[in-house]
Chain A
Amino acid sequence: MRECFEPQFEAINRRDLAQLQLERLQATLNRVAKNVPLYRNRFAAHDINPETFSDLADVRRLPFTTKADLREAYPYGLFAVPLRDVVRLHASSGTSGKPVVAGYTRNDIRTWSRLVARILVAAGANRDDVVQIALGYGFFTGGIGFHYGAETVGAAVIPASSGGTRRQVAIMQDYRTSVFVATPSYALHLAETLCAMDVNVNALSLRYGLFGAETWTEAMRAAIEDRLKLTATDNYGLSEIMGPGVAGECLEQAGMHVNEDHFLIEIVDPATGTPLPDGEEGELVVTTLTKEAFPMIRLRTGDITHIIPEPCPCGRTMRRIGRIVGRCDDMLIIRGVNVFPSRVESLLLEVEGVTPNYRIVLTRQGALDEALVEVEPTENLLFDRVAEHQALQEKLERRLASDLGVGMTVRLVEPGSLARTAGKTIRVEDRRDLAAPESDTVCRP
């Protein structure tokens, strides 16, 4: 069997796993029914007695938890422990401007670290590695999640955080980084920078790369592996559930092993919520089995994937999920940051002088996403007043960048120039061709 961080769990036999999941599901239900009013009331409203749950399949009788529930519970409404037991808070962006706040107890942090350590080891890392984490630190769970995981593995961790590509390159060369953790688009951007800086990739020490937090493709994997000379794996997590560490690929590179001893997964039809059989594509629904501070019962993740039930040659018995192929809702992922068009709209409208007629155009400049917002100003802004024009444009850009956490270019367009239709207006034009890397970006040393 391939290297495992916790083989006693990762390669557990499925019968023992079912027992463990059942025990943990039952205890979780008892805890949320006792400590979380939303769940207690919802169980009562649906006439559900959590004590009658005697089988894992019974989870299907529970109502879903939606992102709307999470927003309503802002900030601490869904916590199952008092705040004094919480040692960490993270937050993710949300549609309404209110983020979802996730709390962690000391045990949650420890569990999280171990689960990320599993993902890292499965992806090839070990204690001899130098791990460069080029994901955002801070509210975002990516950077800190991988940081703790890599420390748990015993590797030497470089908390490089995101951005500063030339500096990242210098670190990579000087510190002899062997494992690189980033978003896939950033990995490609870095590859271009390496090329532009005329760095010999073969002289770097890179062995493995873990990429996640946004949708990517096999073609992108091939491009990253070719240009960074490393083995690239996909991983999956979301801050509502924990952050990174929910699932990750092993070196077979054939789907992400879900840490099923901590997360119960289902695939449902996104339209009807009906559970779908293994192998069919649908929305991923997750129930946490061990979270203390912020347990989730049947959270609809909005992510579209499928379960791969076949055993994996690596020896892990944890089932895999396929690549995330998209989002159920309209959320855009721009450079790894979640952006909802509705949020862009509300921000635009908060600024005087613009109309609700706008369009977001997404393109790829090399490997990086570029977002352009075209918006029509109100009639009284005259197009010959260049200074005024410029000021409004900059104001909008600043506003969008500070609230969304990702920069967007704003262009003011002639009033009436954006297409209008009676029904659903097309607000987003995604010109990024996520299916294939652009050939003109390919660069070989």
Chain B
Amino acid sequence: MLTLRNVDIYYGRVHAVRRVSLHVAAGEIVALIGANGAGKTTLLSAISGLLRVSGGDIDFDGRPVTTEKPERIVRLGLSHVPERRLVFGPLSVEDNLRLGAYSCFKRRQVAADLEEIYAMFPVLRERRGQQAAALSGGEQQMLAIGRALMARPRCLLLDEPGMGLAPQVCKEIFRHIGTLRREKGLTVLLVEQNAKSALGIADRGYVLETGRVLLSGSAEELLANRDVRRAYLGREKDA
């Protein structure tokens, strides 16, 4: 569904992403793991069109989107949930959600989608009138995901959904991601520093190091890889 070939991205003169090739098949959850500064967020921003690549190709659904504008990419069915959630703090929860559907003009559909999101995240219904800034971290993350879903994507890019959240809350968010795939057939590309929770729900993963793909494989294989264990899963337990 999503294919990257030889993608290079520069920040000024810094070569942030080096010839990265990866793919996400329809219905898959794929995790991109790596330390801070490995280029994970940069890569997601390039896929959603927020950043220009300096080389390589990005195909979505068999169509090149390398030079498409972000709003066009959203309409094609690819939504991005940014790092640190970036909800609109002063706006109400419901307005935040409605903003996610800005590319849709059918009122009735927006209302139905809103209902669906509230059904999935009941806490958002409870707080529909509150300012987004007043929500807890976990609730803001749900709001950010809900907002992305309002655009009716087929593929979701998730950037560090567990960042700064309590382990219990983090677990719940990941559970929701699994449900979205199962129930809506959503395809997910997930960036995460917490490799363990990411690989816990992912089918496959890629390990990024200083902008390069060093390793790829099934989630199970990556969890068994000692390099991954040492670098991203905390203290190595000798098997």
Contact = CB atoms under 8 A, between A and B. Distances in A.
B216 A107 contact: no
Contact of A30 (B212, B225, B226, B227): B212
Interface stretch (B18-26, B82-90, B113-121, B137-145): B18-26
A110 interface: yes
Binding site secondary structure of chain B: strand
Interface string B63-74: 000000000000
Interface residues of A, number: 25
Given A23-B216, A24-B216, A110 B21 contact: no
B225 A19 contact: no
Interface string B2-16: 010110000000000
A283 B54 CA distance: 39
B213 interface: yes
Interface in B79-121: none
Interface string A35-59: 0000000000000000111100000
Contact of B214 (A31, A53, A85): A31
Interface string A106-121: 1100110000000000
B213 A27 contact: yes
B224 A106 contact: yes
B21 A23 contact: yes
A27 B18 CA distance: 11
A81 interface: yes
Contacts of B213: 23, 26-27, 30
B239 interface: yes
B172 interface: no
Contact of A23 (B18, B22, B224): B22
A31 B217 CA distance: 14
Contact of A19 (B3, B18, B226): B3
A85 B213 CA distance: 20
A186 B31 CA distance: 48
B215 interface: yes
Interface string B219-239: 001001111000000000001
A51 B18 contact: yes
Contacts of B21: 19, 22-23, 26
Contacts of A290: 217
A235 interface: no
B186 to A, nearest CB: 20
Given A19-B21, A30-B214, A31-B214, A106 B239 contact: yes
Interface residues of B, number: 22
Contact of A54 (B5, B224, B225, B227): B5
B30 to A, nearest CB: 11
A19 B2 CA distance: 11
Contacts, number: 56
Nearest to A84: B226
Contacts of B206: 23, 27
Contacts of A31: 214-215
Contact of A107 (B18, B22, B214, B217): B217
A292 interface: yes
Contacts of A215: none
Contacts of B239: 106
A53 B19 contact: yes
Contact of B216 (A16, A27, A85, A111): A27
A105 interface: yes
Contacts of A106: 224, 239
A81 B215 contact: no
B221 A26 contact: no
Contacts of A420: none
Interface string A288-303: 0010100000000000
Contacts of A52: 19
A292 B221 CA distance: 11
A53 B19 CA distance: 8
Interface string B190-227: 00000000000000001000001111110001001111
A286 to B, nearest CB: 20
Contact of A51 (B19, B22, B216, B217): B19
Interface in B24-40: none
Nearest to A111: B221
Contacts of A2: none
A110 B212 contact: no
Given A51-B19, A81-B227, 9 more contacts: A19-B3, A20-B23, A23-B23, A26-B21, A27-B206, A27-B216, A53-B19, A106-B224, A110-B224
14 contacts: A19-B3, A22-B5, A23-B21, A27-B213, A27-B214, A51-B19, A53-B19, A54-B5, A54-B56, A81-B227, A85-B227, A107-B217, A110-B221, A110-B224
